[in-house]
Every structure is written in C-alpha cells, then in structure tokens.
A and B are shown apart, each in its own frame.
Chain A
C-alpha cells in the first residue's frame, strides 16, 4: 500500500516536470512569435534541434560534446586539487590554533574578493591558456570549500568526544572516528558549493579568454550576433551543472545514510 502511494507521487512529479517544461517552452514560443524579440531570438524547438545537430556538427573546431568535455576537464582537474587542498587546510586550521592564527588573517584579506576578479591577474601570471583557467577554477572552488571544512571539523560534539575518551580512545583515534565523521556532512555541503563555483568559474574564464569550451561558445555567439549558438551553450551549461550537482548529492546520500532521520 505504502509503495503504491509512493509510486503515485513519483508519477505526479514526473508529469508535473514534463508539464512544467512544456509551459515554459510555450511561453518562450509565444514570446518569439508575437513580439519583437522574435527577430533575433530563436524559438525553443529551433534551439533543441540545433542542440542535437551539434552533437555531430562542429562549432569552429569541435562538436558540442567536445566543447563540453573541454570545459568539464578543466573543472574536474581544478576542483579535484581544490577539494584536497581545502579539506587538508580546513582540518589543519580547525585542529591547530597556531595554523589558524597564521592563515586566517591572510585568508580574510582575500576572501571578500570575488573569484572572477582574479581573472585578469591570473591571465597575467599564468598566460591566456589553460594554466590560468586551472588556477581560477582551483581558487574559486577552494574558497567556497575551505570554510565548510573548517566549520565541520569544529562541529564535533564535545559530549561524543568525552564518550570516546571514556571508552579509552586516544587523540588520533578520536580524530578518525569522531571528528572526521562529524565533519562529513559539512564537507559535503562544501563540495557542493565548490562544484557550483568551479563550474561558474570555468564558464566565466572561458568567456573572457579562450578558444574552446562552453563559455567560449556563448561568448562567440555574442560576437557573431548568433543567439541560437548562445542558447545552445546555455542549455549545455545548465544540463552539465545540474548533472554535476546531482552526482554529488547521490554520493552524499550514500555516504551519510546515518545523517537522515529514522526510516
């Protein structure tokens, strides 16, 4: 019985999702048909068609999936190293007051500067090629992750630490079995924030200077007054961003089973 109710709910949700996108498409179509915007802006069907056509057709040197892959590769590389660095530094800062005192003031000086504002300097330092993009993606995701890791490491319940001590655990064991697991949910929300910033930064840095990637696609659309190409790019950005966030959510749900309320 419970299963059936659940199935019904899922069915409603799927229907609503389809309906939702249909209405959105309809509004878009109407906007294009019955207003001046239609002169420069393509409709939803045209956009979708172009989107699928470019799985094989090329924009400049690459097809759409190849452009996406080029952006994605930059994101994943930068993000991977940023995650390692952020987790390491966050834990160190939260565990050792001296390190905290050394790093915090420097960190607080640069933290208010939005990562995109680093683009010009990064290009001067690392050149206009991939070097600067790796740095920027690293930096953007690092900034949004490190604080969560720090807060998470600090969040361990003193009562649980006391309980572990009463059971005979030493500091190292407490760190591995109490402090780290307490931090995991925080680390995950940091990872989630980080992947968002990394993806946004990849698009941003490609828009400002590059020869491939989805960000390039969008900006080249602007330069050529080609809205169709831009919309295809935006669609791709949305799909990839959505997929990246979903993957992380899935991993989190699996790893943090204990964090959900009773079943």
Chain B
C-alpha cells in the first residue's frame, strides 16, 4: 500500500473516481450496478479495468466518460468534474460506432470539424492519425467496406484526432478474431507509445490485461467495486509466454477465481 501511495505522489492524477455508485431504476425494479468505486488514473498511464463478464465495467467507463451520470459520487478528469460527454475525453467503443455514411477521412475528422476547425487544418491532423493507425490509402473507403480490425483502427484514430487528455476504451477488441486481436494489442501499444495519453481500457481477457497495462484493477461482480490492484512492471514489448508474464497472469487469475 505504501508503495502505491508513493507512486501516486510522484505523478499527476488525471482521473479520480470518488465513491462512485450507479443504480438503474425501471418501473418496479432497481439494479445496483456499481457499489462504491474509487479509482485513480495517473497522467499518461495505461490503466486496465478487468472484470468478469457481466460486471459493471462498461457502466463504470460510461460514467467516467460522462455518457451516464453517477447516482452518487463524482468523477474528476483533469481539474473538472465530469457531468456530460465532451471532447476532452475520447471514447473507443466495443462494437464499431463509426458513422456509416461517412468515409474514413470524414469519420476521423468529425471531432475537429464539430468544434469548427478549418478544413485544411483538420484534414492534415486526420491524415496524421490515419497514417498512425496504419490506414493510409483507405481515406475514402466507407466503414462497411473495411474489416472489423480496420474499423476499430478508424475508431482509435477518430478518438485520437480530437487530441483528448484521456482515452476510454470499452473492450475494443472483443469482437475480433484471435489473430487480429493479438495484432491490435501490439498496435495499440505502438500507437500509445508514440502518442502518450491516459488510457482506461476495459477488458474481460486476462492475457490482454497483462499485455497492455501499466496497472490492472480487478473488479468484482455486480454490484461492482475494486477487488485488487496489480502493477505490471514488465518491460515492453512484452511476451505472452515469458515466465514473469505467466506468473502475473496466474496471480490475477487466482484473485478472480476467489471472486466467483
């Protein structure tokens, strides 16, 4: 514990979830999805939220992003309390949430365009991020002409293009086939190392969590709270079959098994 606190002091805190809870009300039922969540993410940290299938990971992420409001508690990003969605926070969706009527270029430049950036400037910026995610040459394709992995690349470029301080990623590779998934994990690290941001990444895949994260937060089943935290200090690029990697993986698996 003392080590973690020490760590916190040396780095700026980018995201702070302070006693966040979330309950959904329908006509006669209420479902408590998040019990009491306290999470901080440091500047430029790759934080992974890891939890079993139906726990409130996505809801937690939506609350942090401002897509949903917390029932109690506050989320602070930078110095501001989050109340509604906004361009200071980027979001990459689970399944593709690209605008199907726009080409790759128009999707990526959507954010700058919405905020009134000049055409020349936003084209240049969008082109940079399209190239960064490795989609140069596909600028004029429509999303339905791309494969699942390429669509997620567009999603990442679109989120990056707004140059937000923090990025939220909600199981972005969950629907990809295994091979593409490995490739995309490498890619996201490459992109992140080039363009450092604070990333909060949600997944239900332990291997993915250990491969990507600076720090993994294991969440409990519904209603969600923090179960345990792991610092992953393996050097990058990581190797899925490395002993240390496998040990860490087993350690986290242990904790998860106890949850169920």
Contact = CB atoms under 8 A, between A and B. Distances in A.
Interface of A: 159-160, 162-170, 173, 177-178, 181, 184, 257-263
Contact of A166 (B87, B99, B100, B142): B87
Contacts of B87: 166-168
Contact of A167 (B111, B143, B145): B111
A166 B65 contact: yes
Nearest to B68: A162
A160 B89 CA distance: 16
Contacts of A165: 67, 84-86
B114 A168 contact: yes
- Chain B binding site: helix, strand, loop or mixed by DSSP? loop
B61 to A, nearest CB: 11
Interface in B89-138: 89-91, 93, 97, 99-102, 110-111, 114-115
Interface residues of B, number: 27
B84 to A, nearest CB: 7
B93 A159 contact: yes
B217 to A, nearest CB: 22
A170 B67 CA distance: 14
Given A168-B86, A168-B114, 14 more contacts: A159-B97, A162-B91, A165-B85, A166-B66, A166-B159, A167-B110, A167-B114, A167-B158, A169-B111, A169-B114, A181-B101, A259-B100, A260-B144, A262-B144
A163 B93 contact: yes
Contacts of B110: 164, 167, 169, 177
Contacts of A260: 144
Interface of B: 65-67, 84-87, 89-91, 93, 97, 99-102, 110-111, 114-115, 142-145, 158-159, 162
A262 B114 contact: no
A166 B65 CA distance: 8
Contacts of A167: 87, 110-111, 114, 158, 162
A229 B90 CA distance: 68
Nearest to A256: B101
A38 B37 CA distance: 86
Contacts of B100: 258-259
